[in-house]
Every structure is written in structure tokens, then in C-alpha cells.
Chain A
Amino acid sequence: SQTIHQWPATLVQPVGSPLSLECTVEGTSNPNLYWYRQAAGRGLQLLFYSVGIGQISSEVPQNLSASRPQDRQFILSSKKLLLSDSGFYLCAYTGRGETQYFGPGTRLLVL
């Protein structure tokens, strides 16, 4: 069966510090991968998506970047966090002919 993992589950970071969030998918090959952010009390915003290794599309200009070093690994990064980067970060995947399934998410608080 297919599963999706994210870590860490929660993170508290000071402003200006770097960030690295990881997402891995099991049980499927060549998935499309997505990073979303959900700010408190707001809807999900698509940040990045990837259709293959090394292929990243950015949806909104921001302080974050994404990378896909392996087929089933998706990483969200920042060199210097801002207060506005706080939120609930969700990774999602689709295989062929499927809708999106989400990982458990990472709660990031930037202080």
C-alpha cells in the first residue's frame, strides 16, 4: 500500500534560521509531489509541485525553495526563516489516475 511520511511533526525555529522539511512516499513510483502551506484559520496554498526528479514548479514567489533529489523524496527548504513562514506544511502525492493524498504535516512556528 501507499504511504506518505513527513518529518519533523513539529518545529520551533528562530527568525533567520534555516529550514529543511522532508517528505517521502512509499509504495508508488514516479509520483507527482506537492508542498502546501496552511496558515492558521486559512485554506491550503500550493507552494511547489514536482512531476519528476529535479523538476520543480513554484506557484508563488516566496522565501522557500523545494528540491526532489530522489523519485520519492521531496524537500522544502529555506535559508532564512521569516515570521510569516509559520504554518502547517503538508506534502501530498498523486500516482497515475488518482487524486491527492496528504502526509501528516509539519507544524512550523517561527519566533
Chain B
Amino acid sequence: RKEVEQDPGPFNVPEGATVAFNCTYSNSASQSFFWYRQDCRKEPKLLMSVYSSGNEDGRFTAQLNRASQYISLLIRDSKLSDSATYLCVVEDMRSGSARQLTFGSGTQLTVLP
């Protein structure tokens, strides 16, 4: 079983649509959770952190369910510029205080005009 699993997609949605991505993780001791965005042939960039209480940043809402080891990302009113690969990321502490991120393989989103 992969440590972090995501639906690879692709998700092709029209502008203005609402789209949701799901992710599950295997390590119940994982401490922090994030969504990163990766544009084609570019480095991943932090989109938002994910908190147990849920958090919202504009059109983006992230949710965490620790009991189910499940993370979600909701994008409302999709824009063409939202087209990218969305990476679910789980963080654990390693020896010597190094933070280790484990990445899902990503979910590809294409927003169509």
C-alpha cells in the first residue's frame, strides 16, 4: 500500500465548476498535512496547509479527518489558471529534527473554457 494515495485523474472540468480531490495516508502518526500545486515542468509550490478543523483560503477549502486518515481539497468556481497537478503531502518528523514530506503521485486538473 502506498503511503499517500490520490486519484490520479485527470479531472477535466468547465470553468466555474466545483471540483474535489481526495487523499488517504497510511501512517496514523503523521503530524502535518498539506496540498501542493505543481504546474507542468515546474517545482511544487505550497497551496495550503490542512488542519483538523478545516481551513479555507478564498476558493480553496481543505479538510482533514484523522480518524479516517483522509484529506480533501475543494476548489470552487474553477479558473483556467487552476489547471495543474495537485499533490497531497503528509509530513513526519525524522531523526535530527528533519521534516520528511511524503508526496502522493498527484491529481491532474484541467479547467476548460
Q: Which residues of A contact B (CB under 8 A)?
A: 32, 34, 42-44, 46, 49-52, 55, 57, 88, 90, 92, 94, 99-105, 107
Contact A105 B98 (CB under 8 A): no
Instruction: Sample 21 A-B pairs with CB under 8 A, ordered by A number.
Output: A32-B99, A43-B103, A43-B104, A44-B87, A46-B100, A49-B98, A50-B98, A51-B96, A51-B98, A52-B96, A55-B96, A57-B94, A90-B44, A92-B101, A99-B34, A100-B46, A100-B101, A102-B45, A104-B42, A104-B43, A105-B43
Q: State the majority secondary structure of interface residues on A.
A: strand
Q: State the majority secondary structure of interface residues on B.
A: strand
Question: Can you name the residue of chain A whose Cβ is closest to the Cβ of B106?
Answer: A43
Q: Which residues of B contact A (CB under 8 A)?
A: 4, 32, 34, 41-46, 49, 87, 91, 94-106
Inter-chain CB contacts under 8 Å: number? 57
A residues within 8 A CB of B105? 42-43
Contact of B99 among A52, A90, A94, A103 (CB under 8 A): A94
Closest Cβ of chain B to A7, distance in Å, is: 14
